[in-house]
Structure formats: C-alpha cells, structure tokens
A = this chain, B = another copy of it.
Amino acid sequence: MEKTLPQCFVDSFLRVRYAETDSMGIVYHTNYLVWMEVGRTDYFRQMGFTYRDLENQYKLFTPLIEVNCRYLAPAVYDDEILVRTYVKQFNRRLVRFGYEIYRVNENYKLCEGESAHLVVDRERKRSSFPEKVLSAFQKHIYNRKDEASEC
C-alpha cells in the first residue's frame, strides 16, 4: 500500500432504526457496512461535490472490491451513532476508505473497518477518477491537515 495518509475524518451522525436490529436485540452486522456507505456519501459531499454527480455527470461508478469490519460492541435501537470516515489510500483507479463507528453517548467505539473501491464506467470497464475528483481528494486530505489539529 502507499504511504499512510493523514487521517482526515468526515463525521456522519445517524440514529439506529428498528429495521436495522435483529432478534439478538442488537444491530444486524451488515448494517454497520451500510452506515459506512452513509459515511462515504458524506465524505464526497464534504469534498465539494457529490458521489451522485460522479455517477450522473461522469458516468463513473465505484463498486466495492473488498470490505472488512471488526466488531467491538453492539449498537441497539435508537442509539445515536457517529461514523468517522477517512481515506486510507487513493489514486486514479482506486480509493480505500477507513471507518470508525461510535455510539455517541459514551463515545464508545462499536466497530472499525475499511472498504476498497475500483473506478469503472457504465460497461463496468476499469476507468479512472477525473482530475477534478483527484485534486479534491488531495486538497481535502492535505489542506485539512494544515488547518485542523486532527489532520
């Protein structure tokens, strides 16, 4: 993998839906991965454009090629959740997001994971991010580094 990038988090807040729980009384494990998708959407928006635009204007898509998640503690219905999303790796053809998910109340970490995405066109052929997106990633990660203590 490329050198480690500064961890510039984009934060998303959401509340656990009843639909997301299972009969163990806790959130069904795949829903944390859906929340990561919420985090990615917010990450793109934070960079100054939307993932929807990437699909609609550039006809580019970013299907997953890998996902993993380590579960530390369960969330339950109505918990307020914080999803912290950052970019672990990016280049023209691939982006790898990292995630940390917390219960807001006790600032308790529930899980952490990552997802890797290829860039493909409408025919699902390998493609690459447009210059605009690449420089947005760059700017977002390195500029925030200078401004915020966290990055």
Contact = CB atoms under 8 A, between A and B. Distances in A.
Interface of A: 15, 17-19, 21-26, 28-31, 33-34, 37-38, 41, 50-52, 55, 61, 63-71, 74, 76-78, 124
Contacts of A66: 68-71
A145 B146 CA distance: 52
A17 B50 CA distance: 13
Contacts of A76: 23
Contacts of A22: 18-19, 21-23
Contacts of A65: 70-71
A26 B21 CA distance: 11
A22 B70 CA distance: 22
